[in-house]
Structure formats: C-alpha cells, structure tokens
Amino acid sequence: MKPLVGIIMGSKSDWETLQPAADTLQRLGIAFETRVVSAHRTPDLLFEYAETARERGLEVIIAGAGGAAHLPGMTAAKTSLPVLGVPVQSKMLSGIDSLLSIVQMPAGIPVGTLAIGQAGATNAALFAASILANKYEPVRAAVDKFRAEQTATVLANPDPSVTAIPRP
C-alpha cells in the first residue's frame, strides 16, 4: 500500500515523540512513511522531500521538530499539502519554544499546530486521518470506530472512584 502520510522529524531523537503518530496511523490502517529530514542540516533533502511528496502519493505530512522548529514551516513553504506540526519537548524551554516557532507562521503559509509532545503526535495522526476520511471510506470507518471505542471506554467507567475488582 502506498503511503498517504509522511512523518518527518528534524533528528532521530525526535522519534520518541513522533512514534505515537505512527502507532495511531497503523492502528487506523493508514499507510505512512517516516524520515529524518532536518531543516538545518539537510535543507536540500527537505526541499526535495516536500516538493515531491504529492507525486509520491502523500496527502498529509506530519512534521515534528524541537527548538527553533523550522521543519514544519519550511515543509509547508515547499508544498501545498496539509502540514501538521508537532512541537517536540525541549530541555531548555519544555517545548514552548518549539510550539511558538511552529504556530507563529506568517499569513499565507499555514501549518496546523498540535500540542507539545506525544499527545500532539497522536492528535496529528488523528487529524491526518480525519483529512483522509473525506476521501477514503475505509479511513472514515476506522476513525468512526476509534471514536466510538473512546466513547464506550468512558461510558463503561463513569465513576473514577470505583475500582473494578476481578471476580473469581
């Protein structure tokens, strides 16, 4: 199956943050690819990746980056595909620097920006799935099933003070 989503990150160490995006896409049955593509260390590779993404079959790109976090914005500048930015938590400013770098894109070059860290990566995958669900019925069904399961989990355990005791 051809990848529909690209997951890119500025360095290999960002994988810990972005792996939940891959796990979520896999759970939903959405084909994806992962790559380390640094905006600062490999700008030519970044430009090539973004410029050829559509012709390679990608429909959404999830870009995670920490610190200066230029990867999502530079990717969005080189493709008209939807780019979803995931701020990677940094040691220096706990990811606030990354968040502000990604969310403060100038008018005309949008980047959908998610929460800092693994929650943002999971939601980026779900957001990508929601975009794809407009075109692909199996993705729509997988997203609907995922949401129904979340609802059922909450409804099955409405009182957090009650701990289920397994019966023999």
The whole-number pLDDT of residue 91 equals: 83
The whole-number pLDDT of residue 92 equals: 81
Q: Which of 56, 59, 70 is nearest to 11 (CA)?
A: 70
The whole-number pLDDT of residue 164 equals: 59
3-state SS string for the chain: CCCCEEEEECCHHHHHHHHHHHHHHHHCCCCEEEEECCCCCCHHHHHHHHHHCCCCCCCEEEEEECCCCCHHHHHHHHCCCCEEEEECCCCCCCCHHHHHHHHCCCCCCCCEECCCCHHHHHHHHHHHHHHHHCCCHHHHHHHHHHHHHHHHHHHHCCCCCCCCCCCC
The whole-number pLDDT of residue 167 equals: 55
Q: Give the separation between CA 81 and CA 137, rounded to whole angstroms.
A: 20
Tell me which amino acid residue 120 is. Answer: G
Regions of the chain short of the pLDDT cut 50 = none
**Residues 97-144: pLDDT tens digits?**
999 999 999 999 999 999 999 999 999 999 999 999 999 999 999 999
The whole-number pLDDT of residue 161 equals: 79
The whole-number pLDDT of residue 159 equals: 84
